């Protein structure tokens, strides 16, 4: 595993366009600082280890993590594993995604609709919605996006199905240089290395689409869980 340290200006307080889910880089937003970096510095699948010397795994409270990641000139340490999960991305147009989920894991797939059209499978995991990391949203933010925002970009990963990451160069260039082909900026807002590109599913799927709010989840003893049916 190789590491690199970058200084992110974070002028828009959006982590320079880096989208993380549970500490992993899952998306790079277009026209951002991150999108200008070559794959040798930043790529999908990198793991954000610490921010300004603070290990990210020690900041478990979401509000505190958001505060940490909103500062200016962030010093980011990123590790790169040899493998990363395969991803599936699509734009949900209709009310329902045509699948059921518990938490962020797909538990059932309908016979037709968005999930089938983009190739989602049972046990796939939702890692980003509306260009934001799923783990970085509150339960109410998740519910609002899942029930009200259309079209809605939905990015899934497939645990157990991996692909090689881009090896880091021995000499890492300066931050801000133009991206190499296939680098972080090549994704243009979608997941680099996605197994389905930027598929757009037509309306369909039918059925009820609802999300259990945070107060309901708290009563179940699982405040961070949203059940989509």
Same domain, 126 and 211: yes
pLDDT (0 to 100) of residue 82: 95
Structure tokens at 118: 């983009």
Same domain, 131 and 144: yes
pLDDT (0 to 100) of residue 197: 39
pLDDT tens track for 23-39: 999 999 999 999 999 99
pLDDT (0 to 100) of residue 195: 42
**How many domains does the structure of the chain reveal?**
2
> Could you tell me if residue 177 is inside a domain?
no
Same domain, 78 and 104: no
Same domain, 215 and 102: yes
Residue 134: how many CB atoms within 10 A of its CB? Answer: 25
- Distance between alpha carbon 135 and the CA centroid of its chain, in Å? 8
pLDDT (0 to 100) of residue 1: 83
pLDDT (0 to 100) of residue 168: 80
C-alpha to C-alpha distance for 131 and 141, rounded to whole angstroms? 13
Residue in this structure with the two tokens 């209709």, named with its chain if needed: 94
| Of 170, 171, 183, residue with least CA distance to 44 | 183
Same domain, 53 and 132: no
> Could you tell me if residue 119 is inside a domain?
yes
Same domain, 24 and 131: no
Q: Domain range spanning residue 55?
A: 2-83
CATH number at residue 93: 2.30.42.10
Same domain, 79 and 127: no
Domain boundary among 83, 110, 129: 83
> Could you tell me if residue 172 is inside a domain?
no
Q: Which residues of the chain have pLDDT under 50?
A: 171-182, 185-209
pLDDT (0 to 100) of residue 220: 54
| Of 142, 135, 128, 105, residue with least CA distance to 187 | 128
> Could you tell me if residue 182 is inside a domain?
no
Q: What is the dihedral of CA 142, 113, 90, 213, to 10 degrees?
A: 0
| Of 135, 99, 93, 88, residue with least CA distance to 228 | 99
pLDDT (0 to 100) of residue 106: 98
């Amino acid at each position: 595993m190789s590491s690199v340290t970058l200084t992110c200006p974070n002028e828009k307080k959006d982590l320079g366009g880096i989208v993380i889910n549970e500490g992993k880089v899952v998306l790079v937003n277009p026209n951002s600082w991150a999108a200008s970096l070559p794959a040798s510095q930043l790529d999908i699948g990198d793991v954000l280890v610490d921010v300004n010397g603070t290990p990210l795994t020690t900041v478990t409270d979401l509000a505190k993590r958001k505060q940490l990641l909103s500062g200016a000139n962030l010093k980011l340490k990123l590790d790169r594993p040899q493998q990363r999960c395969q991803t599936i991305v699509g734009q949900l147009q209709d009310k329902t995604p045509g699948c059921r989920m518990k938490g962020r894991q797909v538990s059932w797939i309908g016979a037709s609709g968005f999930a089938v059209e983009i190739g989602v499978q049972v046990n796939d995991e939702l890692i980003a919605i509306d260009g934001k990391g799923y783990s970085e949203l509150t339960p109410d933010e998740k519910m609002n996006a899942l029930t009200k925002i259309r079209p809605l970009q939905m990015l899934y990963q497939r645990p157990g199905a991996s692909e090689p990451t881009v090896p880091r160069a021995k000499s890492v260039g300066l931050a801000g240089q133009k991206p190499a082909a296939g680098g972080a900026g090549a994704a243009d807002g979608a997941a680099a290395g996605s197994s389905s590109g930027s598929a757009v599913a037509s309306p369909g799927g039918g059925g009820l689409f609802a999300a259990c709010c945070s107060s309901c989840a708290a009563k179940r003893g699982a405040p961070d869980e949203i059940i989509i049916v």
